[in-house]
Structure 1
Amino acid sequence: MQDDSASLTACIPRLRRYARALLGDRAGADDLVQDTMERGWHKLPSWRRGGDMRAWLFGIMHNLHVDRLRQPALHTVELSEELQGSLSAPAAGDRLEIRDMQAALQLLPAEQREVLLLVALEDMSYEEVAAVLNIPPGTVMSRLSRARERLRLLMLGQAPISTLKVVK
């Protein structure tokens, strides 16, 4: 149990990084990670020893995130950078690029953003992403392709053309 507990806590930085990129909100990401860790801790006896704990926790986080999307949102206000006490501030150009990337990520459909972040940020294989999101590997590849193209266009300042048609 001690080794499982250590493995669980060792996943926190990656969960936190993914949650921040997924949500674009520091406080919401921290809440999601905390809820993921709490649920993981309580379900630790059901985790299969020898399995990939990281993928198991990302699956828990995904399910919590989907559940939250289905609930009505609570309006919150983010604290200023000064109050958050950031240790090192990136250069002005880097801050703008980071802001633009974060904004572009938030414009992606949730299913594309999830796949892109799990593959690019968390370095998961297509099979691991498919297991975490409970979708076929082919769906992972097509969502990833669409996400990369849409993100590329957004970063170039070009609005992607929607392929969906409105049916009346």
Structure 2
Amino acid sequence: MTAADLSAMLPSMLPRLWAFALRISGDRHDAEDLVQRACVRALERAHQLQPGTAPLSWMFSIVQSTWINELRARSVRSRSGMDWDDDFLETVADPAARTPEQQAMHGQIVKAVQQLPEAQRVVMLLVGVEGLSYNEAAEALDVPIGTIMSRLSRARQAIGALFSDQKEQRVQSAADSEDQGA
């Protein structure tokens, strides 16, 4: 594939790449920078896109590896005394959430996914949110399909357990309140 071919495909990919970048980075500005760096990197390496490889999966892979490199660089800066100040980062509400209930539910789901280990979180985002097939996700992350299935299964179990624990805590809290009122 040529850079011109990829350049013609990128505009249609940008919304999904940006959404993925926002989900893995958690910050709008980081996501914008991440997508921009990934697009530049892809255009520079367009000749490396193998025939039969889905360009979108390839781009997800580049976004993921670019983010990992950024996290490593931040870690080095942090150890060298250059701390990242989260107080200055802007947070963006989800424009798709229309009611307070939907916003609360969305927040709980996002928080649960963010608590997953990085490998499980990325697989959950690619398969569950971006809609990639197991095979496409395996290709994007350069891991066997069994690894994708395993990580996704563990991620789903962890999220299910988290919500089960929260439900049990609410039930117990309600029972305790009733006991105190009696």
- How would you bin the TM-score normalised by the shorter chain? 0.7 to 0.9
CA distance 1:50–1:133, shift in 2 (3 Å): closer
TM-score, normalised via structure 2 length: 0.74
Of the three residues 30, 33, 58, the one matched with 1:31 is 33
Q: Is the 8 A contact 1:24 1:102 kept in 2?
A: no
Whole-angstrom CA distance in 1 between matches of 2:158 and 2:148: 15
Whole-angstrom CA distance in 2 between matches of 1:134 and 1:80: 32
Q: CA offsets, 1:131-163, max 9 Å, x none?
A: 1111111111111000011112223444xxxxx
Q: What is the percentage of aligned positions where both structures have the same residue?
A: 34
Structure (1/2) with the larger helix percentage: 2
Point out where structure 2 has 5 or more consecutive residues left out of the alignment.
79-83, 167-182
Higher Cα radius of gyration: 2
Whole-angstrom CA distance in 1 between matches of 2:36 and 2:162: 32
Which 4+ stretches in 1 moved above 3 angstroms? 48-51, 86-89, 155-158
Q: CA offsets, 1:83-135, max 9 Å, x none?
A: x9x87762111111111111111100000001111111111111111111111
CA distance 1:141–1:66, shift in 2 (3 Å): same
Whole-angstrom CA distance in 2 between matches of 1:59 and 1:123: 14
Residue type of the alignment partner of 1:10 = S
Matched, 1:101 2:112: no
Of the three residues 122, 125, 128, the one matched with 2:136 is 128
**Number of equivalenced pairs:** 156
Q: CA offsets, 1:35-69, max 9 Å, x none?
A: 11111122223334563110111111121122122
Whole-angstrom CA distance in 2 between matches of 1:64 and 1:50: 23
Whole-angstrom CA distance in 2 between matches of 1:80 and 1:56: 28
Point out where structure 1 has 5 or more consecutive residues left out of the alignment.
159-168
Whole-angstrom CA distance in 1 between matches of 2:111 and 2:25: 11
Q: Is the 8 A contact 2:27 2:91 kept in 1?
A: no
